Structure 1
C-alpha cells in the first residue's frame, strides 16, 4: 500500500476523530486493506453536480468530517465575500440514508460560525432548495443528495446567491479554502439559536411559483381528461408533485403505491434513475392496466424527470431526455410567440452533449440558444451573466429541464406540470405527445440520440477512464463508419481543429475533459468522463430529414442502423 494512503489513514486515528471512526479504520487496516485504499487514495472532489461519494470513513467518502470540512471552508469564504452582512444559508436534504443527520451536521457547522441557517424540517426536492435560497434572500444553499446514484452514495451540492450551483470563480476559490484547512479547524459545536426550521410556508410559495410559471391556459376539462401515472421512485418528489398537480387542476393522478413511501434503499428498483426503463416498470404496468395517457417518474431528489407516452401503435415507451427537452422547449417557444413576447431578447439553454435540434428550434423562433458544459449550473450562469436576455427554458439530455428562472437548477416538479400541460392540450386537440414530437421532426429535422455509459469503479477504474481519454486525444480517428471526421473539439485544451485544413480555433466555453467528433453527414460523437459517477459516457447524435409523419418509423430505423454502425466502428459494443 502506498505510504501517502497510510499517512492519511493514521491521521484519522488521532483524537480529532471520534472513536467509532477510529475503530472502523483500525478494522480496515487489519482486515480490509483494499477497502482502506479505496477510502483514502484521494480526496472527494467537486464534479458536475457537486460532491458525491460512497458513505463511510476516509477522505474519499461522505461523512461528517469531509462534509464538515467543506462547510467550514464555505463558511470562511462567505465571511470573506460578504464581510458586512448578516449571513444566511438554507439547507435541504433527500430520502437517502444519513441525509437528515448529515444535514444537521452541516447546519451545526454553519451556526458555529455565526451564520443563520434555514433548515428544512423534513426531506424536500432539490429544486425547492434553489427556490428557497432566492425566496429567503440567502447567500448560499446546500442540499444533501446523491441524485440517482446507488443507495450507498450521498452527496453535497452547493448553491450561490442566484440560486444556481457553484461555478467559476467561486468554486475554485472555495475548494482552495477547503483544501487549506485541517480537520481540527472544523467548528462542530452548534449555536442552536441560529438554526431555524422551515417547511409549510416555503412549500406553499414554491407550489404557487411552479403553477404560475408552468401553466399555459389549459382548459379545465382537458386537465381532468388526462390520465396520469406518477411515481416518485421512493424519493422526495412525493412531497411536492401530487400537491402541485392537484392545485393546478389535474384530478386523474394515479400514484404507484409500492414506490410512494420515501426509502433510501429504493427496494423496488435496481436504480432509482428515470433514465433507466427498468425503473418505470411498475408505473408502465399500472399505465397499461388503467389505460393511462402518460407516465411520469422522478429521481430521489426530484430534479430529473422521466416521461413515457403512447407511440403510434398505442404502446407505452420511455422518451429520452433529448426528446422531452425538445417537446417542452418547442411548446414554450410557441407559447411565447403567441403571446407576442419574443423580440430577439430571449434565449433557451442547452449543453454540448445534448441534441443539436435545440439550435434548430432557436433559429426557427429567432431566439438565441446558449450552449454550455454539462450541468445546469452553466445554464443558471447564463441567466446571471446575461441579465438583458430573458430565459425561456432549457435542458440537457440527462432528463433535466428548467422552466424560466424561478428555479436555477433542473426541476422535475415544474417540468412535470409543464409536460402535463402539453399532453392535456394535445389530447384535447385529438393528438398525442408522441405525435407532437413527430411533427417537430417534420418541421425541424429528425435528430436521434443514443448514450453508452461504461462503468469503471474504484482507483483502477479511474485510471482506465483517464487512459481511454488519453488514447482518444493522442490517436484521433479520421473516419468513422465511412464518414470523414470534419472537426474535433477538445474542451480540455479549449481548441477546435478543422481536420481538413488543420486550422485550430479557440473554444470560449470553460475547460472540461470532453472530446467531440463531428462527421461529414452531421453526426456528432462526444466522449466525457462523468463528473458524478465512476463512468465514461459516449453520446451519439445522428439526423436526417423527415418529409412526412408517415415516414417516421422508416427513418427512425435508418437512424438506429447509423448509430449501431458508428458504435461498432468505434469498438464500443
Structure 2
C-alpha cells in the first residue's frame, strides 16, 4: 500500500466534517486522485497556502488551514509573546469558513483577533495591520485563480507578506502540528463574547478609504473633467470600496456589470476571474460598448489587481498591466511636476519581470527605477524601509506586470482601490487635454521606441507535472543556450546562483535575493525571463522586446518565443 493510500485511510477514519467525509468517499476507487490529494502536504511559503478545495493533505480544507494557523500561533508566541492578528476574506467558496476557523484557533491560543465582518479587499487587510498595530495578518483568498481554488496569505507586522526566512520558520512550526489532535480551538461565538475576537469596525474601513484618498494627485480633476466608468468586481470583494472611492473623487457616472456585481465564489460568468484575461472582461466590455462609456475597470476577487479598457477612436481597447504601470508613471510625474509636488530623488519600484519600457521612460523623466523580485511583498518591504528613514514621499509608484499597483505607503501590498482612483484621475486629466490613454501611450512610444511585452504560461498539473517542471528548469541550468530563436544570447542570469554570465565569459553579480529565475538578455536588448509561478502549477516566460514598429516587435517575439518553446520542449 502506498503512503498516499495510507494517509487516505487515516483521513477517512478521522475526518468528522460531513462535506469532507463525503468528498473522501467519492474518490475511494480513484487511485490517481487519491495520489494527487495525498502525495504531499500543501506547501506553505511566502504566499502562504494556495490549492484546490477538497479533502486531503494537498488540498485547501479546514484541517490544512487549521494546521497552518496553529503553526502560525506557535511562531507568534515564540517571536512576540502577546500578539494580535487581523483577518480578512474574499468571496471565494469557504473563505468565510476558513477565516472564522482561523480566528477560533488564534483565540484558543490566546492571540487577539480583529476580523472584518464583511468581504474586504486584501489591501484593506494590509492597512488594518498597521492601523490596529497587529503583529500579523491573514487574508483568505486565491486571488485571481479559478473557482476550485482558495488560499491563505500571511502578513507580518510591517503589513507585507512574510519573508522567505519567516515563512520557513512558520513552516517548521506547521510541520509539528497533528491535523486531528494538535489544533487548539474555541467556538467563534465564545471568542466574540469574551472579547478575544473582535469585529473590525467601520471606522477602520473609513480610515482606509481616507488613506487611499490622501494619495490623489489631482483632487478636482474628475469633477472638472467628468468621465463615465463601467466597473466590475468580478463577483469579488471590491464592490464596496471601489465604488466608495469613485464617489469620493467625483466620478458620478458609474455602471456596474450586473452579472458580476454580487459576491459569488463560483464565478459563473468568468471561470478564470483575472482582469488580465479577455474572458473575464467580456461582459464589461460589452456594457462599456453599449453605453458608450469612457473606461472599463475590473478588480479581481480580492481586489488587489485592476484591469482596464478604454474607449479610443470609437472602440474599446484593453490595456496590459505593463501599459497601465507606464501610464501611471507618466501621469504622476507629469502632474506632480506641474503642481510643484514632485519630491526630490523620486523612486518607482517594479518587479524584474515587468517592462523595460519603465526604465527607458523613467530615464526621460528623471526618476530612479528599483527592480525587485516577483512578489509585491518586496515592493512593500522597500516602502517600509523608506518610511522608517522618513523618505516615504520619494515613493511614487510600485507595480507588477500582473496588474498590481500601489502609489503610497498606506498599504504594503498591491491595491486595486488605489489603482482605480489613479486610473480614473489620469483618464479625466488626459480627457481634459483631448487625449485618451492610448494617445498618451503612443506619445511615450514615439519618444522611447515601440515596446512589446508578452507572458506565456505552460501548465503542469499534479505530481507528474511538478516533476516535469523541475526537470525543465534543471535542463536549462545544465546547458545555457548561446542563441534563442536565431538571436545570440549576450548574458545568462541565474538568480539561484546569483551570477550573470556574459557571452565573452565574464561574470556579474546579481544583487537581488536568491530566487528560481533564469534571465536571458539577447544581443538586440530583448529580455527573456523564465520562472515557475509561486501560486500556480505553471512555468511562466516573460518577454520584453523593443523595435522601431509594433510589427517588427511582433516578428521578434515570434522568433524568440519559438526558440524558447524549443528549449522547454513544449
The TM-score with structure 2 as length reference comes to 0.93
Give distance in 1, aligned partners of 2:427 and 2:23. Answer: 54
Change beyond 3 A, Cα 1:126–1:343: closer
Q: Is residue 513 of structure 1 aligned with residue 511 of structure 2?
A: no
Q: What are the within-5 Å matches in structure 2 for residues 159-174 of structure 1?
A: 159-174=155-170
Unaligned runs of 5+ in 2: none
Q: Is residue 189 of structure 1 aligned with residue 191 of structure 2?
A: no
Q: Is residue 81 of structure 1 aligned with residue 74 of structure 2?
A: no
Change beyond 3 A, Cα 1:22–1:264: closer
The answer to whether the 8 Å contact 2:47/2:162 transfers is no
Change beyond 3 A, Cα 1:44–1:123: same
Which stretch of the first structure deviates more once superposed, 52-61 or 477-486? 477-486
Aligned mate of 1:123, from 119, 122, 128: 119
Which stretch of the first structure deviates more once superposed, 21-30 or 105-114? 21-30
Query: Paired residue for 1:400?
Result: 404
Shift of 1:138: 0.9
Shift of 1:455: 1.5
Give distance in 1, aligned partners of 2:145 and 2:208. Answer: 26
Render the CA deviation track for 1:408-439: whole Å, top value 9, x for unaligned: 11111110010000000100111111111111
Report the 3-state secondary structure (helix = DSSP H, G, I; strand = E; otherwise coil) of the residue aligned with 2:101. Answer: helix
Give distance in 1, aligned partners of 2:134 and 2:517. Answer: 34
Q: Is residue 178 of structure 1 aligned with residue 174 of structure 2?
A: yes
Q: What are the within-5 Å matches in structure 2 for residues 381-460 of structure 1?
A: 381-386=381-386, 387-388=388-389, 389-390=391-392, 391-460=395-464
How many residues of Structure 1 are paired with residues of Structure 2 in the alignment?
557
Give distance in 1, aligned partners of 2:339 and 2:153. Answer: 37
Shift of 1:464: 1.7
Query: Paired residue for 1:8?
Result: 7
Which stretch of the first structure deviates more once superposed, 287-296 or 441-450? 441-450
Report the 3-state secondary structure (helix = DSSP H, G, I; strand = E; otherwise coil) of the residue aligned with 2:561. Answer: helix
The TM-score with structure 1 as length reference comes to 0.93
Shift of 1:198: 2.0
Shift of 1:314: 2.9
The answer to whether the 8 Å contact 1:218/1:424 transfers is no
Unaligned runs of 5+ in 1: 546-554
Change beyond 3 A, Cα 1:26–1:562: closer
Change beyond 3 A, Cα 1:26–1:249: closer
Aligned mate of 2:529, from 526, 529, 539: 526
Shift of 1:211: 1.5
Query: Paired residue for 1:551?
Result: none
Query: Paired residue for 1:205?
Result: 207
Give distance in 1, aligned partners of 2:314 and 2:551. Answer: 18
Render the CA deviation track for 1:41-94: whole Å, top value 9, x for unaligned: 1111135633210111111111111111111111111121113xx421110100
Change beyond 3 A, Cα 1:558–1:339: same
Give distance in 2, aligned partners of 1:486 and 1:319. Answer: 31
Give distance in 2, aligned partners of 1:236 and 1:264. Answer: 10
Change beyond 3 A, Cα 1:10–1:22: farther
Change beyond 3 A, Cα 1:136–1:521: same
Give distance in 1, aligned partners of 2:341 and 2:247. Answer: 29
Render the CA deviation track for 1:345-380: whole Å, top value 9, x for unaligned: 432111111111222233333333221111101111
Shift of 1:459: 1.1
Query: Paired residue for 2:552?
Result: 558
Report the 3-state secondary structure (helix = DSSP H, G, I; strand = E; otherwise coil) of the residue aligned with 1:27. Answer: helix
Change beyond 3 A, Cα 1:26–1:414: closer
Render the CA deviation track for 1:449-490: whole Å, top value 9, x for unaligned: 011111111111111211221222223221123321011111
Query: Paired residue for 1:305?
Result: 306
Q: Is residue 99 of structure 1 aligned with residue 95 of structure 2?
A: yes
Cα RMSD, aligned residues only: 2.0
